[in-house]
Amino acid sequence: MTRVFSGMKPTGDATLGSYLGALRHWVDDQGPEALYCVVDLHALTVPQDPVQLRAETLGLATTFLAVGIDPNVSIVFVQSHVHEHSELAWLMECTASIGELRRMTQFKDKSEKAEEGGGGFVSGGLLTYPALMAADILLYDTDEVPVGDDQRQHVELTRDLAIRFNSRYGDTFVVPKATVRPAGARVMDLQDPTRKMSKSEDSPAGTILLLEEPGAIAKKIKRAVTDTEADVRYDPSTKPGVSNLLSILAASTGRTPEAAAEGYTQYGPLKNDTADAVVELLAPIRARHTELAADPAEVHRILDAGAERARKTAATTLARARAAVGLLAPR
């Protein structure tokens, strides 16, 4: 059976991008061999408000359930509840080279941004982040990692680290691969369609939150940036705004962007239909989230049970990796 692992950071609410690029595929991939993780340790690469981090961790776990992940089938848990993640991360840091870590696009972007706007502070964790992500994946003998396009490079590095470790110390890790579904793999900002729609980005008008109110969603889509030519065509390089709307409409209605473009000659009707499709897609998730959020104790219970199930596999893999590198086992 295929083992599936994926994770999401509890930094700001989930967006339409993280839903179309990842969460809805997690629902399709679920089964007893699927693990879905709120990766709270990954949030710490930038300073966090502790009260908010705790609330967002629980809120994101609630979102996993609200989109349709069934904790009686898949494993839903919080990364820091399974200490093996941090332990294996050290072995992965020692397997990765500084050059590899520096070449990661996300590190380059985020460290530049931190240097410009964040008072020059770039944490060491921002550089070593992909080693922790590799640990997350490798701990569970993962075959497939369903992610959006922006995480492809990190999964590639995970593969390289697994192969390197296996060749240095003997067969220890399963070599995983990213599964990036084309529809919705890269949802762009509605106000700046050349950049990814991002929860941590400061672009409220360009970002649709998964739990946003329908009126606000429709307004943002209707105000989305398009371009000066008036024709409706899917061509991301010359028409990024229109193509983004077509991708969203297509992913929300199960078509290709080219097929979604058929029949439109003007931007107005395209925007109206995209807004309707997104509102219809997200309304049941919002309703379910409200129900689940009324019983946080139940979400805690689910997370505790999930961590216990996850720990079993994690402990076995970590023990194998410790033995492989020559760490003396305690008596």
Active-site annotation, residues:
110, 196, 199
Question: Which among 212, 155, 182, 153 has a CA at the least distance from the CA of 14?
Answer: 212
CA atoms within 13 A on the CB side of 271: 17
Choose, by CB under 6 A, the member of 67, 91, 137, 208 that binds ligand TYM.
137
148 vs 257 by CB, closer to ligand TYM: 148
For 51-61, b/e burial (b = at least 16 CB within 10 A) is: eeeeebbbbbb
Q: Which residue's CB comes closest to ligand TYM?
A: 21
Q: What gap in Å lies between CA 324 and CA 171, rounded to an integer? A: 9
Residues 65-104 as x/- pattern, contact with ligand TYM by CB under 6 A: ----------------------------------------
Candidate ranges 16-24, 90-98, 120-128, 256-264; the one touching ligand TYM (CB under 6 A): 16-24
CA atoms 75, 76, 82, 85: torsion sign: positive
Q: Which is nearer to ligand TYM, 45 or 226 (CB)?
A: 45
Question: Quick check: 145 binds ligand TYM (CB under 6 A)?
Answer: yes
Q: Does 245 bind ligand TYM (CB under 6 A)?
A: no
Q: Is 239 exposed, middle or buried (0-12, 13-18, 19+ CB in 10 A)?
A: buried
Stretch that binds ligand TYM, among 120-128, 178-186, 233-241, 319-327 (CB under 6 A): 178-186
Q: Identify which of residues 311 and 323 has a Cβ nearer to ligand TYM in the complex.
A: 311
CA distances from 321 to 22, 93, 111, 138, 170 (A): 29, 13, 31, 10, 10
SS3 23: helix
Q: Which residues of the shown chain bind ligand TYM in the complex (CB under 6 A)?
A: 5-9, 17-18, 20-22, 39, 42, 133, 136-137, 145, 147-148, 150-151, 154, 184-187, 196-198
